Structure 1
Amino acid sequence: MSNRKICVVTGTRAEYGLLYWLMREIQNDPDLHLQIVATGMHLSPEFGLTYKVIEQDGFVIDEKVEMLLSSDTSVGVATSVGLGVIGFAGAFERLKPDIIVVLGDRFEILAAAQAAMVARIPLAHLHGGETTEGVIDEAIRHSVTKMSHLHFVSTEVYRRRVIQMGEQPDRVYTVGAIGLDNIRKMNLMDRQSFEEAVQLPLRDPSFLLTYHPVTLNQGQSQKAMNELFQALDEYPNATCIFTKPNADMEGRLISRMIDEYVESRPSTCKAFVSLGQLRYLSAIQHVDAVIGNSSSGILEVPYFKKPTVNMGDRQKGRIQASSVINCLETKESIGDAIKQALSSEFRRDIKCMNSPYGDGEVSGKIKGILKEANLSLLLNKGFYDLSMEV
């Protein structure tokens, strides 16, 4: 009997970093055959051609699906989804996977899920049931949930939410946040090695910043970034390490603004298209606070017992640790949140907290379920009705 073919789809540097140890688990299992489809930002020179990182890590990319247009408008993103469906349809026909694995809520994943659904290939989805009320990703995540057949969620609350959407309880597994596996398994850089790697000394204070467009509130990105920069100007000697946004609507505008700000503070600020998982997690370990609206500030940063200044509504609805400080996208509110994050009292209080997303060892659990699942029964999905009065 041939090995079970498990196809992992990845479209961004961050998503690949989360999937790395699961891919390694599948690759190292003699009873499984790993297939990889790279798409989206991985194939774009603008975003660093990060498919090369996948290959440098010792993985073989079986298919590359070009779908990313040189446009961050709503029309450009919608067109990219259409191109993606076409590309994934051909890739899946050639690969003939037994099951496909996707993570999260991005438009590249929506395209892959649609192609898999029509091709009648079972789909396993990671990080379903979560809410991010400020972005279109909210609807994408829930749509992918309904097209999926196995669900790996990060908390019991999210498991209940997926079941509430009509998914069978015996197909929904609470495994924790897969990104924590990287923290547990990687040998992170010491402070000196990290400073050498980014060619920037870490002053007091030091910040790691990532701000993504809030796609349900178009036109606000420029204002929000200007407010953030004004708040940072209150710390003229602070080290600021920016990671640039994903290929979303208004993403290029944010990238240009970051470049201009870094140019105005070349001795203290630096921007990266991609830090990679090792440098990114090492940065969290050594900076004083993480600022922006990335899911990493909610999922991974609390594991380090470091403060997160979470701007705006992009992560609204997600379960949060006590180390997360929410603020409005105004100079005053951001500034107040940064002051709180740097205060000795706050930093002392969060030292004794636990992450609500588990403590890692997630990839092995997922691999085991993917290996043992009866795939022949997965495609027949019944709607699970909750016993409740409306």
Structure 2
Amino acid sequence: MVEARNPASTHANKKTILTLFGTRPEIIKLAPVIWALEKHSDIWRSVVVSSSQHTDLLRPFIRDLKINVDHDLAVMTPGQTPNAVLSRVVEAIEPIFLKEKPDLIIVQGDTTTATAGALAGFYARIPVAHVEAGLRTGDRYSPFPEEMNRRLISQLADLHFAATEENIKILLSEGIKKESIVLTGNPVVDALHHILKNSRCSETLTNFLESTKGKRLLVLTTHRRENFGQVMSSHLKALRKFTERHQDIELVFPVHPNPSVRAVVNSEFANIERIHCLDPLEYVDFLHLLSNAWLIASDSGGVQEEAPSLGKPLLVLRDTTERPEVLACGVGRLVGHSGERLGEMLEAAIDDQSWFDTVVKTKNPFGKGDAGERISSAISSYFATHKNS
């Protein structure tokens, strides 16, 4: 549970914007939106709600990003299922709607918290705005349950903030009205630039980077549900063999706390020289680690956006991606579920300096770091055209 602040009093002539999040990726991407809303406090009354779908992973980000939480739903329970999270969030947020009387609800991405918030907003006839709208893989089960979550949110939302032109095309093809879609870029770029500009990494990470100076850092993250079991095991085997073959490689893996991930890690990476399994990093350290990477291997959606923002080549440990822009711009290469293919692509990267040179010069397809302000401006325009709503 995160510490909540006292709700703000109601202010006449101000629209109340309720922003809901529950996981680490959501708070990272919503922080620039919250900052922009609170910067314009003469127009907006900002109410921030955490579901605490994640707890330990969430707290450091709330602190580091200087976000004040008005209400904490505290839905996290051990071994929770998506159904349980969905029902608890929908039930817990209803009295907050009655108390705060929001004029708009903002959700982000594809989590169960976001789906629950959009559904609860629809039931309460409160307009819903969706940050990072229009991402699709085309496979309803990959990633699971995120792909279906975002499709559902698109059907419930009144405002769609799309990061790219491709996202807009997808929304239009699904019958979403053009006037409800706004191209904003992705606020993860805002957050990344803000953090790297205004923070330094911890002494622990500084010492680690110093100890591996002169080596090629291969940074790994993997935690997707569809990769659990044999797929993750085959990926880790390939990474272990690659690291063992190349003495100048240091593999760094901030390990997700999910027991399904840790079980495979303990099996494949135990006591292997030059493989460093770390506890989850605070976001400041994680960004500084990525910025020092030679190569990134990840199944994370967020990392697919962070890699081009940092000019780092990326091997995507998935068989589909809802961010085809990272492949189209040349920063990312899709690995699939085969450990053998991953091994081949790792070996190819050793000899492919042209890939690394191209990535550094590639224009970021996810924007230039002004998404928070673009979203705030779009909300102003929405209310200006819905004065009598």
**Same fold by TM (over 0.5)?**
yes
Question: Secondary structure at 1:269's aligned position in 2?
Answer: strand
- The aligned runs of 1:303-342 (5 Å cut-off) are 303-315=309-321, 318-320=324-326, 321-342=329-350
Task: Find the aligned partners of 1:156 and 1:78 in 2 and give their Cα distance.
Answer: 33
Q: 1:98 to 1:207 in 2, by over 3 A?
A: same
Per the TM alignment, residue 271 of structure 1 is displaced from its structure 2 partner at its CA by 2.4
What is the match of residue 60 of structure 1?
68
Post-superposition Cα deviations, 1:294-344, rounded to whole Å, max 9, x if no partner, equal: 112322201222110111225256332202111132222111222233432
Per the TM alignment, residue 173 of structure 1 is displaced from its structure 2 partner at its CA by 0.5
Per the TM alignment, residue 119 of structure 1 is displaced from its structure 2 partner at its CA by 0.8
1:120 aligns with 2:111: no
Post-superposition Cα deviations, 1:259-298, rounded to whole Å, max 9, x if no partner, equal: 565552486413233x233222212210111112111232
What is the match of residue 4 of structure 2?
none
Task: Find the aligned partners of 1:362 and 1:167 in 2 and give their Cα distance.
Answer: 21
Q: 1:239 to 1:92 in 2, by over 3 A?
A: farther
Question: Secondary structure at 1:355's aligned position in 2?
Answer: coil
- The partner residue of 2:211 within 201, 213, 218 is 201
Q: Is the 8 A contact 2:224 2:300 kept in 1?
A: no
1:38 aligns with 2:59: no
Task: Find the aligned partners of 1:210 and 1:260 in 2 and give their Cα distance.
Answer: 16
User: Which structure's relative contact order is higher, taking Cα pairs within 8 Å and 6+ residues apart?
Assistant: 1
- The partner residue of 1:167 within 159, 176, 180 is 176
- The aligned runs of 1:210-359 (5 Å cut-off) are 210-215=221-226, 221-233=228-240, 234-236=242-244, 238-245=249-256, 251-258=258-265, 263-265=270-272, 268-273=275-280, 275-315=281-321, 318-320=324-326, 321-342=329-350, 343-359=352-368
Per the TM alignment, residue 208 of structure 1 is displaced from its structure 2 partner at its CA by 1.9
Give 5+ residue unaligned stretches, structure 1.
381-390
Give 5+ residue unaligned stretches, structure 2.
1-11
What is the match of residue 18 of structure 2?
7
Number of residue pairs the alignment of both structures matches: 364
- Paired AA for residue 300 in structure 2: S
- Paired AA for residue 231 in structure 2: A
Post-superposition Cα deviations, 1:44-73, rounded to whole Å, max 9, x if no partner, equal: 3xx34x23542464432111113233216x
Question: Secondary structure at 1:258's aligned position in 2?
Answer: helix
Task: Find the aligned partners of 1:306 and 1:378 in 2 and give their Cα distance.
Answer: 45
Q: 1:163 to 1:221 in 2, by over 3 A?
A: same
What is the match of residue 387 of structure 1?
none
- The aligned runs of 1:31-180 (5 Å cut-off) are 31=42, 32-42=44-54, 44=55, 47-48=56-57, 50-51=58-59, 53-55=61-63, 57-71=65-79, 76-132=81-137, 133=139, 134-135=142-143, 136-180=145-189
- Paired AA for residue 343 in structure 2: G
Once structures 1 and 2 are overlaid, which stretch shifts more, 32-41 or 191-200?
A: 191-200
Task: Find the aligned partners of 1:41 and 1:226 in 2 and give their Cα distance.
Answer: 27
Question: Secondary structure at 2:147's aligned position in 1?
Answer: helix
What is the match of residue 370 of structure 2?
361
Q: 1:346 to 1:194 in 2, by over 3 A?
A: farther
What is the match of residue 24 of structure 1?
35
Task: Find the aligned partners of 1:259 and 1:148 in 2 and give their Cα distance.
Answer: 42
Q: 1:213 to 1:339 in 2, by over 3 A?
A: same
Task: Find the aligned partners of 2:151 and 2:387 in 1 and give their Cα distance.
Answer: 19
% of aligned pairs identical? 17
Post-superposition Cα deviations, 1:9-61, rounded to whole Å, max 9, x if no partner, equal: 1111122111212111112212222111111344x3xx34x235424644321
- Paired AA for residue 277 in structure 2: K
Task: Find the aligned partners of 1:17 and 1:282 in 2 and give their Cα distance.
Answer: 15
Q: Is the 8 A contact 1:309 1:324 kept in 2?
A: yes
Task: Find the aligned partners of 1:230 and 1:61 in 2 and give their Cα distance.
Answer: 42
Q: 1:316 to 1:14 in 2, by over 3 A?
A: closer
Per the TM alignment, residue 151 of structure 1 is displaced from its structure 2 partner at its CA by 0.8
Q: 1:322 to 1:199 in 2, by over 3 A?
A: closer
Q: Runs of 4+ in structure 1 displaced over 4 angstroms?
A: 188-194, 197-200, 259-263
Per the TM alignment, residue 131 of structure 1 is displaced from its structure 2 partner at its CA by 1.1
- Paired AA for residue 216 in structure 2: P
- Paired AA for residue 285 in structure 1: S
Task: Find the aligned partners of 1:266 and 1:92 in 2 and give their Cα distance.
Answer: 53
Question: Secondary structure at 1:235's aligned position in 2?
Answer: helix
TM-score by length of 1: 0.84
Task: Find the aligned partners of 1:61 and 1:245 in 2 and give their Cα distance.
Answer: 25
Alpha-carbon RMSD: 2.8
Question: Secondary structure at 1:102's aligned position in 2?
Answer: strand
Post-superposition Cα deviations, 1:58-97, rounded to whole Å, max 9, x if no partner, equal: 432111113233216xxx2212211221112222222221
Question: Secondary structure at 1:120's aligned position in 2?
Answer: coil
- Paired AA for residue 120 in structure 1: R
Q: 1:198 to 1:179 in 2, by over 3 A?
A: farther
Per the TM alignment, residue 254 of structure 1 is displaced from its structure 2 partner at its CA by 1.1
- Paired AA for residue 40 in structure 1: S
Per the TM alignment, residue 214 of structure 1 is displaced from its structure 2 partner at its CA by 4.0
